[in-house]
Each structure stands twice: as structure tokens, then as C-alpha cells.
Amino acid sequence: GGRQRGTSERPGRKNRAGRIELCAGLVEGGTTPSMGLLQVVKQCVRVPVFVMIRPRGGDFLYSDREVEVMKADIRLAKLHGADGLVFGALTEDGRIDTELCTALLAVCRPLPVTFHRAFDMVHDPQVALETLISLGFERVLTSGCDSSALEGLSLIKKLAEQVRAPCMPLGGGITERNLQRILEGSSASEFHCSARSARDSGMKFRNPNVAMGASFSAPEYSIKVADVAKVRTLNAIAKNIL
């Protein structure tokens, strides 16, 4: 695994991830990966690879130029073997940007599309969910509009009771320590997590006086990688519950 890969788990698949959400910039919550990364990942895995389409970190209110970039990235991702796409867009008042989502969905066809955790920034999640269903999103990734899926359990349960489709994978702060409680407290059949751990850099010469990013960025000599052992543990927990 690499530090640019997010993973989405589906229980009961021989202790492996059932789907990969491929993205860069995990410190920013995930951004569009390079097409080189997509090509290499497609050569290495057999599970479906869903590609994040998010041109930058920050909010989900996009300019016309950013929309052009998103459409171009969708076309390239399809060209290089993406099995699905992941994006989200909001209006300035915290509603689903139906016009933009409709336009992006048209470019994505016929691939399935997930609306990502931009959903957790909406003004009215129940109305937003109905909107996404009507637009044709296959999945809505959510932490229940809270800091993590554990804190958002009450809303997640309410949303699940509101409507059965689309599928609502849970994401946000899921670990081996809280997965059982999250699955038992919701109706979710899928969960999403990075399942990552830190690996020390192979660099022997190190300059402690220089950082490549802002002050909140990850240290240069610690690399975040997908942890196979964590994936197996999480799926084993889920298998006992679902």
C-alpha cells in the first residue's frame, strides 16, 4: 500500500479490502490521485478501484475552472481503468449542488459514483440524502455529520431508517477499537477506512530544519502506508457482527 491510497472495506471478502478508494493528499482528506498511481494500482490489485475526484483540499464549493479540471480528471480516470468515481459538490448555503453533480454524473456514466464526505458538511442531511438518491448516486459516504462515525451514530441510524438506498458506507475515524460498536449501532453493511500505520523513512541523512509543507503537514521521515494486518483485523471484526 502507499500513503496515497484510501481503502474501503466490504466484509466477507477473505479478509481483504472489497474496494479501494484511490486518492492523494490524505492530510487534506483526499484529493485526485495521479493517473500514474491509478495505472500502477490497477496492475497490482483485482478489487474495484474507485477514484477520488477532488481538485484541492478545503471546501466543496468549486469555481468554473475547477469544474473543468474535475471533468478532465473523470475522463482520464475512465481512460485509465477506474471502476467507479467519488466526488461531492455543495452550494454556498450548504446544499447539494444538483446542477454540478448532474453534469459530473453525466461525464461519469456508465460507472457507479459515490458521493463522498462532503455530505457531512450539508445544512440538512435528510434533505441532502433524498437529493442524492434522486440524482442517481450509488453510495453516500458519511460519518453522520460529526467528527467521526462513532460520534455520528444517531444520525446515521436515522438516515438508514429514512431510506434503504443508496448504500451508506460509514467512514471517519474507524479503527479496530471502535468498529464493533459502530457496526452494532448502525444498519451499515459497508465501512470505509484508511487502515494505515506509520512506517519510518528509509532516509539515513535527515535535515530536521526543513519541512516541505505547512506546519500541520506530516513529517518528511514518517510514511503512512496501508496496513494489511489492520485490514484483516477490521474484516474479522465485521464478519462476526454482520
**Residue 109's CATH number:** 3.20.20.380
The total of structural domains in the chain comes to: 1
Residue of 179, 123, 126 whose CA lies nearest to 148: 179
Which domain, by its residues, includes 68? 2-202+210-240
Q: Are the C-beta atoms of 2 and 225 separated by less than 8 Å?
A: yes
User: DSSP per residue over 142-159, as a string?
Assistant: BS-SSSSTTTTHHHHHHH
CA–CA dist 35, 90 (Å, integer):
26
Q: Are the C-beta atoms of 42 and 78 separated by less than 8 Å?
A: no
- How confident is the model at residue 16, as a pLDDT? 65
CA–CA dist 36, 82 (Å, integer):
12
Q: What's the rounded mean pLDDT across residues 143-147?
A: 81
Q: What's the rounded mean pLDDT across residues 87-100?
A: 97
**Cis status, amide bond into 125, omega within 30 of 0:** no
- How confident is the model at residue 220, as a pLDDT? 57
Residue range 95-134, pLDDT digits in tens: 999 999 999 999 999 999 999 989 999 999 999 999 999 9
Total-model pTM: 0.79
Residue range 165-212, pLDDT digits in tens: 557 666 777 677 767 776 776 666 777 777 778 889 898 998 888 877
pLDDT band at 218 (very low <50, low <70, confident <90, very high): low
- How confident is the model at residue 163, as a pLDDT? 66
Say whether 49 sits in a helix, a strand or coil: strand
Residue 23 has pLDDT above 80, yes or no: yes
